């Protein structure tokens, strides 16, 4: 009888020791995650003004421009968008040729014969370059000021500026940039210059020289 009592007492003592050791280990393992009344825990929640300032700063953040695509790629991509690359096409608004010129734009660079223009691919290529030169001169300050920044969520590049000017004119580009993207021109088919800023960004147009009086004829 004494032996049985001793056996059960031993078992109970062992269980108590194991349980005590487990509790001690458990308390130790989570102690690093507990805080006390003496600890000063602080964190910062941005105010509404701070959030607005951050958004404005991101909007004007200068973004590094990666390696440019070539000028030939630029003009062919633009021609594909304008006319599917066709030299003899005239759209429903009367815009003509591979790059879809209006008559007023053609007259400004010395071309007055629309029929001759449509049948002369070399003239059309020269006309495209001449108009780029004029727009680059008009928009030289905007190129210097806004290139590499984001306006209205769009990365601004020189090629994007020139493409947008081809679509809507230099004045529409100035309005878009100076209004932080809130004023944005769309053509008769609903194409917005913001799309051109995006689609034709990052091409190399450094070979285009500024020329206020560029002419073809």
99 and 120 housed in the same domain: yes
Domain assignment present for residue 210? The answer is no
Which pLDDT belongs to residue 45? 53
Q: Return the pLDDT at 11.
A: 62
The H-assigned helical ranges of 119-211 are 121-138, 140-146, 158-168, 170-178, 193-199
Q: What is the CATH number of the domain that holds 133?
A: 1.10.530
Q: Are 146 and 188 in contact (CB under 8 A)?
A: no
7: in domain? yes
pTM of the model: 0.70
Residues 23, 103 share a domain:
no
pLDDT of residue 217: 73
> Which pLDDT does position 42 carry in this prediction?
46
What does the pLDDT read at residue 34? 41
Q: Residue 73 falls within a domain, yes or no?
A: yes
Pair (18, 78) in one structural domain:
no
Identify the pLDDT of residue 135: 98
Residues 129 and 37 both lie in one domain: no
70 shares a domain with 41? no
The pLDDT value recorded for residue 133 is 98
- Statement to judge: residues 186 and 129 lie in one domain: yes
Rounded CA separation 142/173 (Å): 9
Tell me how far apart the alpha carbons of residues 98 and 2 are, in angstroms, rounded to a whole number: 111
Domain co-membership, 36 together with 63: no
Q: Is residue 217 part of a domain?
A: no
Residue 211 lies inside a defined structural domain of this protein: no
Q: Output the tens digit of pLDDT for each of the chain's 217 residues.
A: 544 445 555 566 556 554 554 444 444 443 443 444 444 444 445 565 554 555 445 554 444 545 569 999 999 999 999 999 999 999 999 999 999 999 999 999 999 999 999 999 999 999 999 999 999 999 999 999 999 999 989 999 999 999 999 999 999 999 999 999 999 999 999 999 999 999 999 999 999 999 999 999 7
User: Does residue 112 sit in the same domain as residue 26?
Assistant: no
Domain total of the chain: 2
Same domain, 104 and 18: no
- DSSP H or E stretch at residue 192: none
Look up the domain containing 106 and give its range.
59-199
Total count of residues recorded for the chain: 217
192 located within any domain: yes
């Amino acid at each position: 009888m004494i032996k049985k009592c001793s056996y059960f007492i031993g078992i109970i003592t062992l269980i108590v020791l194991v349980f005590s050791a487990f509790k001690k280990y458990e308390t130790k393992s989570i102690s690093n995650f507990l805080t006390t009344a003496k600890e000063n825990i602080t964190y910062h929640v941005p105010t509404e003004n701070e959030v607005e300032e951050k958004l404005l700063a991101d909007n004007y953040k200068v973004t590094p421009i990666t390696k440019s695509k070539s000028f030939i790629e630029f003009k062919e991509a633009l021609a594909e968008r304008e006319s599917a690359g066709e030299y003899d096409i005239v759209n429903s608004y009367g815009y003509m040729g591979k790059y879809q010129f209006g008559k007023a734009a053609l007259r400004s660079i010395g071309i007055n014969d629309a029929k001759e223009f449509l049948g002369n691919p070399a003239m059309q290529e020269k006309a495209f370059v001449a108009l780029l030169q004029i727009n680059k001169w008009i928009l030289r300050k905007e190129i210097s000021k806004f290139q590499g920044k984001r306006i209205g969520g769009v990365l601004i590049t020189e090629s994007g500026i020139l493409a947008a000017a081809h679509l809507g004119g230099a004045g529409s580009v100035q309005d878009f940039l100076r209004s932080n993207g809130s004023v944005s021109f769309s053509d008769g088919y609903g194409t917005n210059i913001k799309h051109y800023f995006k689609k034709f960004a990052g091409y190399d147009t450094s070979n285009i020289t500024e020329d206020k009086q560029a002419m073809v004829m």
